Amino acid sequence: MDGSITNGSPQSTSRRAFLKASAATAATGLVLGAGAKEAKAFAYEPYPRDDDLETVVTSCAHNCGSRHMLVAHKKGDVIVRLSTDNGTYQGDAYGTDTEEKPQLRACLRGRSYRSRLYSPERLLYPMKRVGARGEGKFKRVTWDEALSDIAQRMVYLRDTYGPTALLDQSYAGASYGVLHKSDQIEGLLGRFMGMFGCRTSSWSVPSYQGTTFSSRTTFGTIQDGNEDDAFAHSKLIIMWGWNPAYTFHGGNTFYYMRMAKQRGCKFVLVDPQYTDSASAYDAWWIPIRPNTDAAMMAGMAYHIWDNDWHDQAFIDRFVQGMDKGTMPGWAQGQESFKDYIFGERDGVAKTPEWAAEICGVKAEDIKKLAEMYATTKPAALKASWSPGRNAYGEQYNRMAAALQSMTGNIGILGGCAEGVGKAWHAEAVAYPYDQFANVWYASIKSDRWAHCVLNYPNLKREEIGLWPRMDQLDGVAPNIRGIFWQGSDWLNQLTNINKEIAAIRKLDSYGEGESLLVCMDSTITPTGIWADYLLPIATHFERHDVALPWYKGHYYIHRPVVIQPLGESKTDFQVFTELAYRLGFGPGYNPRATRDYFNDPTQVDEAYLVAWWDNVRHHQGVEWDWETFKKRGVYKFVLPEPHVAFRPQIEQGMPFETPSGKIEIFSTTLAQTPDWTRTQYGYEIPAIPKWIEPWESLNHPKAKEFPFHMISPHPRWRTHSIFNNIPWLRETFAQETMMNASDAEKMGIRTGDTIECWNERGRVITPVYVSERCMPGVVVLHEGAWMDLDEDGVDRSGNPDFLTLDNPSPAGAFAYNTVLCNVKKSDLNHRPGWDKLSTARSHVFRRDL
Ligand SMILES: Nc1nc2c(c(=O)[nH]1)N[C@H]1C(S)=C(S)[C@@H](COP(=O)(O)OP(=O)(O)OC[C@H]3O[C@@H](n4cnc5c(=O)[nH]c(N)nc54)[C@H](O)[C@@H]3O)O[C@H]1N2
Ligand SMILES: Nc1nc2c(c(=O)[nH]1)N[C@H]1C(S)=C(S)[C@@H](COP(=O)(O)OP(=O)(O)OC[C@H]3O[C@@H](n4cnc5c(=O)[nH]c(N)nc54)[C@H](O)[C@@H]3O)O[C@H]1N2
Ligand code: SF4
Ligand SMILES: [Mo]
């Protein structure tokens, strides 16, 4: 025992000895015959054999970057094993996996889902808070008690504080399904609160609000994506802040990128860290100072023009405002993009040398990349969302669109116009998506809610991105008194957590009954700990739905009720329907249901889904009926050619969905906005893409005090905060901060030490990983760790959102990656996750408090 703790070798010796012994036993068993146990050569004993199990096709449901098939193997009502697509489920031969119809094979998170489903953190009963908010003390109550009290308090808050008193913080926890949705626009909560007559909605998407703005401004749509198989046809792929080996982005991205590699495609990575995607494809790594991407791209544009490598015919035909000749008549004399790049107005030519000073990339490298991109056809500049999750992130994405346009890489196979990158169109909505969907009485920028609460009523509209309906343009700021978290762990995931906690304290100060916090989730979460009520929600294994692809992919996966809901959990739809009945609008909210829906949703859910499927058959030419789809479990469309965004515009001259019908590098809408204070942005946004200095970066004077730029990418082993409590996954990757070897050496820091990263907003503790894969001056810490504050206000889990800033970028981008901090060694313990604490938190489940 002692030996196995202090030193691994005795353990491994005994493991080897054990294996030897069991091999010997098995061998003897064969020889001995009668009397010994019959050898069936079954590896999984004592687990049930496949023949004893029922096999059910389903899929994951979260905001995880993709959508794959899971196959549940169950005995009775218990899932004993999960596997994934093996090619057979659509009726093909085992192993079928083609370029046109690839398998949808699950990642490590999906495959470990069983341990999340049955985790000790599962919420099984409605819980009511009995301690202070955030203390984590709850008692079990009945559904009736919880829902009566919630309904009563909702009415009181609405009637006392008006139709904006309740804040909708639903988010994409349950996304890319057709019936049980938790998003801000098509979600179940938005419709429920809208019909109730009290809702402040949260506009702006953490993922890519700056990118959305860019895609809409430039192309008039966020459907600017190709299907992933188009990557197989590129000759050059520039992964700009894109790491699909880690951060999933569509169905089978890596498979098609490998095909491209096999066909001779070259790869480049522009990123402060050297990623696994780069090493997989032997990419040329260009380390860049975080948040300076727009400057580097401007330098590339200069070099391309300077050498006449641009595609003038493409520009003249399809683009507005790229140069003087393509400025619209009404804007003659205004600054075009080329004017800006050559410094005609500001006297600053955006040369590669100018850019090199800002972004830390050598001018020769900027030139070399510009040449590669402009002279290799077709080339995919995949400008991912992360560098846009920054102060002025919208400028980076618009600048990328300018490069994609000037090289004529839009609308052609092997090129790339992404952006947001939504590709093939999925029929997305099943439940009644009618005039009551997404009704709001005020809308604020999502991560300014704490600012709104803390400063109410002394707020300027632009401070919180307040966006009342047009007829209420002079509306006042909402007096937020309640929050519903549904499918979101937003207290843990939005920016500047300490400020959010201060906002909750302010709600506390209003007194008992004067505010309401409700968290609907399938597990206890760091957010839930702060709620007054925890409502246990059935997972996607426990309710009926259909899975949609995440941004890319052309298939539908059936998602049956695989097992009965654990404990007393109910679906979100059941809960809102029952609450709606209590509040007087049940039949309107869920027209197909009666009140018995709370007891049994089976028939009603089926009816919604059948209606949806009929729509799919009608619009998308699917030959299968609903029963066949249910039997097979998956329907994969085979497209006649890879889907490429804007092909019809380029090949057939269809107009783009912009005001001018062209790709708008010079934006009609932005140029014609007379008063920025009357938009939800509040601040001026230039009509052409420009480099704008972010409010924190390594070039900022503040870097003297806080010399490290922290970026917080998405973890391979989690979906944001989901799966943080799964020990299997934490065995694969650890929450740690990566820093550069020369920085670490100067500070006497070595791999495995514990460090503190801090700035004026917060402090976090993690182990450190010292590596050359991270450029000097940068630290990398993945988002999504379950916050765990100690009594001194230090977060021991290593959640970067204690350090992020909630200031909005003008177009609404969350500035998650605009963070300066400092680093030092620490004696404090890192606490990797709550499973270590689950006994400490087990009072959550106690009935008798
Ligand atoms: N495994 C996994 N996959 C996911 C998710 C998940 O939680 N886990 N979440 C999904 C969701 S909701 C989203 S929004 C997407 C996010 O997708 P992305 O935004 O593409 O992903 P990130 O992981 O944030 O960042 C990708 C890369 O950008 C780099 N980067 C960060 N800042 C900068 C910068 O300023 N400049 C440059 N050039 N590079 C920078 C990071 O080092 C990282 O390698 O991922 C989706 N996929
Ligand atoms: N520092 C930093 N922070 C970031 C980011 C970053 O890059 N850096 N990225 C941001 C991005 S892009 C995103 S998208 C956000 C994600 O932020 P969140 O959406 O808050 O993150 P998740 O961890 O996915 O939380 C979803 C929650 O929904 C619950 N859930 C799942 N299914 C259901 C359901 O059917 N019903 C209900 N009621 N609940 C359900 C899950 O259990 C989970 O607790 O994080 C953001 N935070
Ligand atoms: S990428 Fe998402 S859908 Fe696919 S297996 Fe992983 S968690 Fe599930
Ligand atoms: Mo996201």
| pTM for the structure as a whole | 0.93
C-alpha distances in angstroms, 487 versus 181, 340, 430, 523?
A: 8, 44, 18, 11
| Whole-number Å distance between alpha carbons of 385 and 801 | 18
Going by C-alpha positions, the residue among 442, 449, 444, 445 that lies closest to residue 501 is 449
Question: Within 10 A of 759 (CB to CB), how many other CB atoms are there?
Answer: 21
| pLDDT above 90 (res 346) | yes
| Ligand 1 proximity of 291 Cβ (cutoff 6 Å) | yes
| Ligand 3 proximity of 107 Cβ (cutoff 6 Å) | yes
C-alpha 524 – ligand 3 centre gap (Å): 21
Going by C-alpha positions, the residue among 397, 422, 50 that lies closest to residue 221 is 422
Q: Calculate the CA dihedral of residues 429, 182, 503, 705 and round it to 10 degrees.
A: -90
Q: Is 562:53 a contact under the CB 8 Å cutoff? A: no
Q: Bridge partners of 634?
A: 557
Ligand at shortest distance from the CA of 488: 2
Q: Which residue type, as a one-letter code, is found at position 57?
A: V
Going by C-alpha positions, the residue among 133, 54, 254, 163 that lies closest to residue 440 is 163
Q: Which residues of 579-610 are buried (b: 16+ CB within 10 A; e: fewer)?
A: bbbbbebbeebbebbeeebbeebeebbeebbe
> In the 8-state DSSP scheme, what is residue 758?
E
Torsional class of 714: left (φ above 0), alpha (ψ -120 to 50), beta (otherwise): beta
C-alpha 546 – ligand 3 centre gap (Å): 15
Q: Is 580:154 a contact under the CB 8 Å cutoff? A: no
| pLDDT above 50 (res 275) | yes
C-alpha 63 – ligand 4 centre gap (Å): 7
C-alpha 783 – ligand 1 centre gap (Å): 10
Ligand at shortest distance from the CA of 175: 2
Q: Bridge partners of 166?
A: 482
Of all protein residues, the one whose alpha carbon is nearest to atom 10 of ligand 2 is 206
| Ligand 3 proximity of 57 Cβ (cutoff 6 Å) | no
The larger pLDDT score, comparing residue 849 to residue 102, is at 102
Q: pLDDT tens digits, residue range 203-238? A: 999 999 999 999 999 999 999 999 999 999 999 999
User: Average pLDDT, stretch 748-758?
Assistant: 97
| Whole-number Å distance between alpha carbons of 396 and 689 | 8
User: Average pLDDT, stretch 408-416?
Assistant: 98
Going by C-alpha positions, the residue among 591, 578, 579, 580 that lies closest to residue 434 is 591
Closest approach atom of ligand 1 to CA 390: 35
| Ligand 2 proximity of 171 Cβ (cutoff 6 Å) | yes
| Whole-number Å distance between alpha carbons of 56 and 40 | 26
Query: Where do runs of H (alpha helix) occur along 333-417?
Result: 337-341, 352-359, 363-375, 393-406
| pLDDT above 60 (res 28) | no
| Whole-number Å distance between alpha carbons of 648 and 656 | 9
C-alpha 2 – ligand 3 centre gap (Å): 40
Q: How much is the pLDDT for 65?
A: 96
258, two tokens: 């490998």
> In the 8-state DSSP scheme, what is residue 326?
G
| Whole-number Å distance between alpha carbons of 426 and 612 | 11
| Ligand 1 proximity of 694 Cβ (cutoff 6 Å) | no
Q: How much is the pLDDT for 438?
A: 87
Q: pLDDT tens digits, residue range 152-205? A: 999 999 999 999 999 999 999 998 899 999 988 889 999 999 999 999 999 999
| pLDDT above 50 (res 532) | yes
175, two tokens: 């996304």
Q: Is 550:176 a contact under the CB 8 Å cutoff? A: yes
| Ligand 1 proximity of 386 Cβ (cutoff 6 Å) | yes
Enumerate domains of the chain plus CATH numbers.
Answer: 127-205+437-636 (3.40.50.740), 209-419 (3.40.228.10), 701-833 (2.40.40.20)
Consecutive H or E run containing 381: strand 379-383
Going by C-alpha positions, the residue among 720, 723, 816, 710 that lies closest to residue 766 is 710
Of all protein residues, the one whose alpha carbon is nearest to atom 7 of ligand 3 is 110
Locate the DSSP E strands across 569-660.
Answer: 634-636
| Whole-number Å distance between alpha carbons of 830 and 654 | 57
| Ligand 3 proximity of 68 Cβ (cutoff 6 Å) | yes
- How many residues are listed for the chain in this entry? 849
| Ligand 1 proximity of 577 Cβ (cutoff 6 Å) | no
Q: Bridge partners of 380?
A: 237
Of all protein residues, the one whose alpha carbon is nearest to atom 8 of ligand 3 is 110
C-alpha distances in angstroms, 197 versus 117, 152, 166, 226, 464?
A: 35, 14, 10, 40, 22
| pLDDT above 90 (res 381) | yes
Closest approach atom of ligand 2 to CA 490: 20
Q: Is 60:113 a contact under the CB 8 Å cutoff? A: yes
Q: Which residue type, as a one-letter code, is found at position 535?
A: L
Mean model confidence pLDDT for the chain: 91
Closest approach atom of ligand 2 to CA 485: 38
Of all protein residues, the one whose alpha carbon is nearest to atom 40 of ligand 2 is 487
Burial of 793 (0-12, 13-18, 19+ CB in 10 A): exposed
| Ligand 2 proximity of 569 Cβ (cutoff 6 Å) | no
C-alpha 206 – ligand 4 centre gap (Å): 6
* DSSP, residue by residue, 724-757: TT-HHHHTT----EEEEHHHHHHTT--TT-EEEE
Q: How much is the pLDDT for 429?
A: 81
Q: pLDDT tens digits, residue range 126-146? A: 999 999 999 888 999 999 999
| Ligand 3 proximity of 69 Cβ (cutoff 6 Å) | no
**Residue carrying structure tokens 């093939």:** 424
Q: Is 692:395 a contact under the CB 8 Å cutoff? A: yes
Terminal CA-CA length for the chain: 39
Of all protein residues, the one whose alpha carbon is nearest to atom 3 of ligand 3 is 67
Closest approach atom of ligand 1 to CA 288: 38
Q: Is 688:321 a contact under the CB 8 Å cutoff? A: yes
Q: How much is the pLDDT for 19?
A: 37
| Ligand 3 proximity of 244 Cβ (cutoff 6 Å) | no
Q: Bridge partners of 822?
A: 758
C-alpha 103 – ligand 3 centre gap (Å): 13
526, two tokens: 């760091």
Q: Among 714, 720, 729, name the best residue to mutate to test ligand 1's pocket (greatest count of ligand atoms within 8 A of Cβ).
A: 714
| pLDDT above 70 (res 90) | yes
| Ligand 1 proximity of 387 Cβ (cutoff 6 Å) | yes
Q: Among 69, 109, 253, name the best residue to mutate to test ligand 3's pocket (greatest count of ligand atoms within 8 A of Cβ).
A: 109
Going by C-alpha positions, the residue among 292, 307, 399, 415 that lies closest to residue 354 is 292
| Ligand 2 proximity of 720 Cβ (cutoff 6 Å) | yes
| Ligand 2 proximity of 495 Cβ (cutoff 6 Å) | no
Q: Which residue type, as a one-letter code, is found at position 296?
A: M
Please report how many Cα atoms fall inside a 13 Å half-sphere around the Cα of residue 629, on the Cβ side.
25
Give the pLDDT band (50/70/90) at residue 44.
Answer: low
C-alpha 248 – ligand 3 centre gap (Å): 8
Q: Calculate the CA dihedral of residues 140, 146, 149, 153 and round it to 10 degrees.
A: 110
Q: pLDDT tens digits, residue range 761-771? A: 999 999 999 99
| Ligand 3 proximity of 722 Cβ (cutoff 6 Å) | no
Q: Among 204, 275, 288, 386, name the best residue to mutate to test ligand 1's pocket (greatest count of ligand atoms within 8 A of Cβ).
A: 386
User: Average pLDDT, stretch 349-376?
Assistant: 98
Ligand at shortest distance from the CA of 173: 2
Of all protein residues, the one whose alpha carbon is nearest to atom 14 of ligand 2 is 207
Consecutive H or E run containing 767: strand 762-771
| Ligand 2 proximity of 172 Cβ (cutoff 6 Å) | yes
Ligand at shortest distance from the CA of 551: 1
| Whole-number Å distance between alpha carbons of 512 and 167 | 18
Q: Bridge partners of 55?
A: 73
Q: Among 247, 709, 769, name the best residue to mutate to test ligand 1's pocket (greatest count of ligand atoms within 8 A of Cβ).
A: 247
| Ligand 3 proximity of 109 Cβ (cutoff 6 Å) | yes
